[in-house]
Amino acid sequence: MTATTPTPPASPAAPASSTSPAWKGSSPLLQIRVLTARSMRSLATDPGVILFGLLQPVVILFVLTQVFSKMGPPPHFPAGVSYLDYVLPAVLVDNAIQAAVQSGVGLVDDLKNGIVARLRSLPIAPSSLLVARSMTNLARSTVQAVVIMVLAIGVLGYSPRGGPAEVAASVGLTLFMSWALGWAFIAAGAWLRRAEPMQNLALVAVLPLMFVSSAYVPVADLPAWLAAVAQVNPLTHAIDATRALALDIPGAGAVLPAMVISGVVAIVSAALAAVGFRRPM
Amino acid sequence: MITPAASPRPNGDIAIEAQEVTKVFGAVRALDRVSLSVRRGTVLALLGHNGAGKTTLVGVLTAAVPPTSGRAYVAGFDVARKPREIRRRIGLTGQFASVDGQLSGRDNLILIARLLGAGRKAAAARADDLLELFALTDVAARRARTYSGGLRRRLDLAAGLVGHPEVVFLDEPTTGLDPSSRLALWEIVENLVAEGTTVLLTTQYLDEADRLADSIAVLSSGALIAGGTAAELKARVGRRTVVVTLDGAHTAAVAAEALRRASMEPVAGPDTGVIVVPIDASKDIAAVVRALDHAGVEAEELSFREPSLDDVYLTLAGHRPHPARLVQGADA
């Protein structure tokens, strides 16, 4: 026997049988299920969370449609489309971004809450919590999108040219983008471990970015320098793709690139998140 | 209990074994060749002030912090190679309660049991058992964030015990607790040990170590400076002390120098301007007074103490290769 290299004890079952682990451990799938149920519970018991998330998209929806519906359409506005029909896809994208930011904020909450310290001491895959966070926020953005659609159709009379299937596809696209962007914010949360930078970003960056995009006015109707910014603003492309689906107007070619880019963002961010999350507290 | 040069590998009777564990964070040597072993079914108290490296050592032993060098085995598994096997067999209660404030106490325990692989029914049954054991049944349905500090700590400890761990780590379990909660927690620990669980607890409280521990390891600036039973430690220092309070660091340095000239071994006390002087007999108090008088130093307060773990700690810490800053400051 080599004296220099300590070898692990011969029998892993050395502990007395009365104190051997009571349970066999859980699969990653079960871990994700249990942890998703956990974070969903705070969503269910705290409806304020969803209401708060709906605030910005819904206020914008009502304010803009009320303000601009009385004004004539700008020169490059698509023909035969009401302002409500035009702006709703942008509201859905706004909702997607807000929910995505909340993915990161939720993770930071978990880190502060103490539960993460507990989970680290358990024989589970740490990234289960990240996936659970992501699933929870997908559920959250879905609920919010449904509320927005119900308000838009029921109260404001949203009736886009695309049929129910096209409208559902447009909602689905924003949910997919929300899920993907959510991973970026989960990665940010795992590295920064503070919610303020993300919340500030959502507050300070998202609103101007929405205005400097095709969200509320066609890009061609923006002043030249704003139009130039809007052209490279990824939000423009996300909104155009969503809008093309819902309104059944040209531009659906942007859907596939939007999905591919979202997918890449999700994969890269998830990897970064897993690495960042593994760092000790 | 504390073996400076550990055997190559732990035998079945050893629940926790650290061999020359060193952890370096950047320029800070948080742990410096720490070796210790804890027999199955016993309690080791890791004693040290803030920043002594207690939490880092717990981190290494719970497979949360990889050691820079050295090896550690817990429940027979290498922390570096089998972290998951270790996590299946340990319970951990940190300095800050690690429970989900959003969930009820009961749901916290069920969540952990489920993650450990228990079915729904078994998880609920285990949760209810622990709630009863920790007298939490009345508040079981309340969200944990509404709990008082003592309740939270109890829930946290219960959370650490869900999986029937064979080794339990308690990192400053009673910090911030009121006296009665502290006492209740001590009783829980004693019951655990009576059932054969091995416990490693870190503490700044000497009475806690004295009361609960079979053996005590004293950690200072990342290095183990002493180990043994409470009685052994007291015997090792074996002296009564005079505590001299002076009006500042400078006076204290002058006084320390004067005492050293009188062949005494003064060490820095817990506060600035306080010196602890071990003495052999009561009559040596006079020698302390004479030495101070001779140096023209006037003590603000002079008190005599029977040996306590506090003095053990101060004396041993003062005798480290790096002398305590106050005494060293005399020459600097």
Task: Quick: pLDDT tens for B89-110.
Answer: 999 987 666 888 889 999 999 9
Can you give the residue ranges of every domain in chain B? Answer: 14-234, 238-328
Residue with tokens 């990665």: A187
Predicted local confidence at residue A252, as pLDDT: 84
Report whether B268 contacts B326 (CB < 8 A): yes
Residue A15's pLDDT is what?
37
Residue of A173 and B316 predicted with greater confidence = A173
The correct CATH number of B238-328 out of 3.30.360.10, 3.30.70.1070, 3.40.50.460, 1.10.150.170 is: 3.30.70.1070
Whether B62 sits inside 8 A of A121 (CB atoms) is: yes
CA nearest neighbour of B220 among B94, B72, B95, B50: B50
Distance in angstroms (rounded) separating the CA atoms of residues B292 and B305:
18
What would the two tokens of residue B60 be? 């290494």
Q: Are B301 and B206 in contact, with CB atoms under 8 Å apart?
A: no
Contact yes or no for B117 and A25 at CB 8 A:
yes
> Can you point out the beta strands (E) in A92-235?
none
Structure tokens at A199: 């919340």
CB A25 within 8 A of CB A116: no
Subunit contact A21:B94, Cβ cutoff 8 A: no
Q: Does A4 score more than 50 pLDDT?
A: no
- Per-residue pLDDT reduced to its tens digit, A142-182: 999 999 999 999 998 888 888 889 999 999 999 999 999 99
Q: Domain B14-234 belongs to what architecture?
A: 3-Layer(aba) Sandwich (3.40)
Q: Do B101 and A12 touch (CB under 8 A)?
A: no
B211 touches chain A (CB under 8 A): no
The verdict on B258 touching A (C-beta cutoff 8 Å) is no
Mutate one of B25, B115, B156 to test the A interface: name it (highest A CB count within 10 A).
B115
Interface test with B, best of A118, A136, A278 (most B CBs within 10 A): A118
Share of residues in chain B with pLDDT > 70 (%) = 86
CA gap B17, B130 in Å, rounded: 29
User: Is the model's pLDDT at B165 over the cut of 50?
Assistant: yes
The confidence score (pLDDT) of residue A18 equals: 38
Q: Which residues of B touch A117 (CB under 8 A)?
A: 94, 96, 98
Q: What is the tens place of the pLDDT at every residue in A176-216?
A: 999 999 999 999 999 999 989 888 887 788 888 888 999 98
Contact B122, B109 (CB under 8 A): no
Q: Examine the pLDDT at A26 and tell me if it is beyond 80.
A: yes
Angstrom distance (rounded) from CA A166 to CA A172: 10
pLDDT tens-digit profile of B23-63? Answer: 999 888 999 999 999 999 999 999 888 888 999 999 999 99
Do the chains contact at A19 and B73, CB–CB below 8 Å? no
Residue B114, pLDDT above cutoff 80? yes
Sign of CA dihedral B223, B227, B231, B236: negative
Q: B323 pLDDT exceeds 60?
A: no
- Per the prediction, chain B carries an average pLDDT of 84
State the pLDDT at residue B266: 87
pLDDT bucket at A13, cuts 50 / 70 / 90: very low
What pLDDT, on the 0 to 100 scale, is given for residue A77? 85
For residues B319 and A21, the model is more confident at: A21
| The pLDDT value given to residue A207 | 82
Report which of B62, B66, B72, B86 is spatially closest to residue B24, judged by C-alpha positions. Answer: B66
| Whole-number pLDDT of residue B8 | 46
d(CA A161, CA A80): 9
Each residue's pLDDT tens digit, B242-272:
889 988 888 888 999 999 988 888 888 777 8
B29 forms beta bridges with B24
Contact B313, B206 (CB under 8 A): yes
| DSSP state for residue B298 in the 8-state scheme | -
Cβ within 8 Å of residue B2, ≥6 positions away: B35, B36, B37, B215, B217, B224, B226, B227, B228
Percent of chain B surpassing pLDDT 90: 41
Return the residue matching tokens 């054991």.
B133
The answer to whether residue B120 neighbours chain A at the CB level (below 8 Å) is: no
Using the predicted structure, report yes or no on whether residue A121 has a pLDDT greater than 80. yes
**Local confidence band at B319 (pLDDT 50, 70, 90 cut-offs):** very low
The predicted pLDDT at position B311 comes to 63
Tell me if A15 and B11 make a contact (CB, 8 A cut-off).
no
Residue A201 has a pLDDT of: 81
In tens, the pLDDT along B167-189 reads 999 998 888 788 888 888 899 89
